Amino acid sequence: MDDNYQGWSAQKKDYYLPEGKSLTKDIQFNGNTYYIAGELTITNFWGQGGKIVVMPGGKLNYPSPMPLHGFEILNYGEFNVINGSKLTINTGASLMTSGDLEVDEVYVSGVLYVGGRLSVQKADALQFKQDTHQNQVDIFTSDTFVILC
């Protein structure tokens, strides 16, 4: 991945942002995987069915309030929510981080796993049941705060 990367025309393949490189771009998901060893700032995304893997030492800046939808993020580096501090993880999406996560608000109907400390002022884990039109909330806590719906 470099300055020539165009999200709207991204092929279904693996992309790699090397250590020491920074990129601010829209990205496309159509089954592709992005490996981030440098710093990626996402401005927008299209499509579904992809994955972002933030390598140790890598950094991903994700825009608030744009929800994660139809893809997964595996974070072994640094994950930041920018343009505010609201994180929404929709059904079919997941964020799994090996370290700490600090956000003001988190809304989860997909999967959120935090291997370190979750610091949040407002959290809501909702799964809408179409047959009963009721909300079901499942929040699991221990030394690590884990939300799985």
Tell me, what's the pLDDT at 126? 56
Report the predicted TM-score, pTM, of the whole model to 2 decimal places.
0.81
Instruction: Assign 3-class secondary structure to the chain.
Output: CCCCCCHHHCCCCEEEECCCCEEEEEEEECCCEEEECCEEEEEEEEECCEEEEECCCCEEEEECCCCECCEEEEECCEEEEECCCEEEECCCCEEEECCCEEEEEEEECCEEEECCCEEEEEEEECEEECCCCEEECCCEECCCEEEEC
Tell me, what's the pLDDT at 8? 65
Q: pLDDT in tens for each of the 149 residues of the chain? A: 777 777 767 778 899 999 999 999 999 888 899 999 999 999 998 888 899 999 999 999 999 888 998 899 999 999 999 987 899 998 889 999 998 888 888 888 888 888 888 888 887 765 433 333 344 333 333 344 444 44
The alpha carbon of residue 139 and the mean position of all alpha carbons in its chain are separated, in whole angstroms, by 19
